Structures are given as C-alpha cells and as structure tokens.
Amino acid sequence: MKKVYLSGILLLLGITVMAQTGQVPSGPAPMKPEMTEFYEPEVRVVQPATILGMAPSDAIILFDGNDINREWEDSEGKPTRWVVRDGALVCVKGAGIIRTKRKFNDFQLHIEWRTPAEVVGDGQGRGNSGVFLQGLYEVQVLDSYNNRTYRQGQAGSIYKQYAPLVNASRKPGEWQTYDIIYTAPRFSSDSTQYFTPPRVTVLHNGVLIQNNVSLRGPTLYIGIPEYSIRKHGAEPLVLQDHGDPVAFRNIWIREL
C-alpha cells in the first residue's frame, strides 16, 4: 500500500510540474510519410500479355501448339504417345500420364482444356482427366456441363477434397481455362508431417472456384487424404490419362 501511495504522489507532482512549466515529456520523434516509403530493391518489370490468357514475359511455355517432347515425357522419362492435333495436345487412351521434364514448387499455372464435343458416357466417365500439381494434388478436369456427379469430383474440384464454389463449366467441345495459384508444402524437421500444407487457388473460366484452400494430403481415389506424407521438394506437373481424348493447349507457368 505504501508503494502505491508513493507512486500516486509522484504522479500528481509530475502533473503539477507540467501544468506550471508548460513542458511536455520528451518521446519518439513524430512519423513522417517518407519513413515508410521504400524504393529499393525496385519491383521487377514483367510485360503482360497483349491478349488475355496468353503468357506474360517471365512465363515458361510448357506447350505452344507444336512440340510435345521439348517439355513433356511419359512416366518412364520417354517420349509420350500423346499427339498434337490442330495445335492441341490430345490424350491417347492407354498412353499413360505425361509429366513435365521440369520440376516446380510454388507457381502460377495457366492451362486450357477441352472435352470431346460428342458426349459419351456420364458422371466420371465423361471427358475425364486431371491436372496434378507436383504430381500429387489433383485439380479435376471433367465435362461437368449438365452432368451430375459427386460434388468433390466434378470439374474444378480438388479431387475428393474440395468441391468447387460454383460450376463454371462451358459446353462440351468448347475451350475452358484454369488459372491456378499453388503454394507448395513445407515440412517439419522430421520429414513426416507438413509444417504448412499445400494451398491452392483456382479460377475456372475466370470465375473463382477454389479460394486458397489448404490441402489435407495427396489425392486418393479411395480413402481420406493424410496430412502425413513423404517429404518432397520440387516435382513435375502431371496430366492424367483417364481414357478420354481430352485436349490441352496454351500451357504456361510462372515460378513464384
């Protein structure tokens, strides 16, 4: 009680002195606008595309409508049996997946795809393919125009994890776009658990359908994805062969 009483007296004395002298206790200098304005390092210049959807100046072109084998290979590292038809990369049934020769961590990906104009089958059997980020995490490709299937398996889903916010699908035979922002996982020191899981944002035909979702693990057809996974670094981008002649074009990627 004595300490509290003494502190109160000192405070009152201080207020009295300031009132009598007009002096204000010294403190930090007032902030100026330029104190929070930084010029270095200067922001790097990137030339945007003149046509919406085309590659900016710092993008890696993964498919330009001509050569498949410059950037892509099959699962064994050999030339793929997918074909180029009218400037599009077309899946050949039974040829297996194709993967990029390069490996990536964080990136911005643009890819255009088209399911067959002639509708064959329904549900998951209609224009099915997939874009596998780092070869492990699938963004579903499917003809979801008037085609009912399970929510987290339709076009734009993070397969068996997240349904798209909306169905933004175009008609069969029409070109569609995915713009994907991907943040790769970081792992704990023991290499068995995510320190931070991978995160994905997807725009389908310009419509936001996945909003920075946190993935629960690599894509599984059966079962629940696990947070636990072998530690991995940069990995290829993979396109799936699901038996349908799905076509792809204008594929580019920006490493982030």
| pLDDT single digits (tens) 205-249 | 999 999 999 998 899 999 888 766 678 899 999 999 999 999 999
What is this structure's pTM? 0.84
Q: Do the strands 129-133 and 238-239 form a parallel or antiparallel pair, or are they unpaired?
A: antiparallel
Task: Output the 3-class SS for the chain.
Answer: CHHHHHHHHHHHHHHHHHHHHCCCCCCCCCCCHHHHCCCCCCCCCCCCCCCCCCCCCCCEEEECCCCCCCCEEECCCCCCCCEEECCEEECCCCCCCEEECCCECCEEEEEEEECCCCCCCCHHHCCCEEEEECCCEEEEECCCCCCCCCHHHCCCCECCCECCCCCCCCCCCCCEEEEEEEECCEECCCCCCEEECCEEEEEECCEEEEEEEECCCCCCCCCCCCCCCCCCCCECCEECCCCCCCEEEEEEEEEC
Q: Do the strands 107-114 and 176-183 form a parallel or antiparallel pair, or are they unpaired?
A: antiparallel
pLDDT of residue 13: 46
**What mean pLDDT is predicted for residues 118-138?**
94
Question: Residue 145 phi/psi, 5° resolution?
Answer: -85, 110
- Average pLDDT for the chain: 88
pLDDT of residue 192: 60
The widest CA-to-CA distance across the chain, in whole angstroms, is 93
**What mean pLDDT is predicted for residues 147-167?**
96
The topology (CATH level 3) of 60-255 is Jelly Rolls (2.60.120)
Q: Is the pLDDT of residue 14 over 70?
A: no
pLDDT of residue 231: 82
Return d(Cα 95, Cα 206) in angstroms, integer: 31
24 — pLDDT class (breaks 50, 70, 90): low
Residue listed under structure tokens 């919406």: 52
Q: Which residue has the higher pLDDT, 132 or 53?
A: 132
Q: Is the pLDDT of residue 114 over 80?
A: yes
Q: Is the pLDDT of residue 5 over 50?
A: no
Q: In what order do the strands lie in the sheet with 72-74?
A: 72-74, 98-100, 238-239, 129-133, 137-141
pLDDT in tens, 32-42: 998 887 889 88
Return d(Cα 206, Cα 187) in angstroms, integer: 32
Q: Cβ atoms within 10 A of the Cβ of 56, count?
A: 13
pLDDT in tens, 172-217: 999 999 999 999 998 877 766 668 899 999 999 999 999 999 998 8
pLDDT of residue 2: 47
**What mean pLDDT is predicted for residues 136-164?**
96
Domain ranges in the chain are: 60-255
pLDDT of residue 47: 86
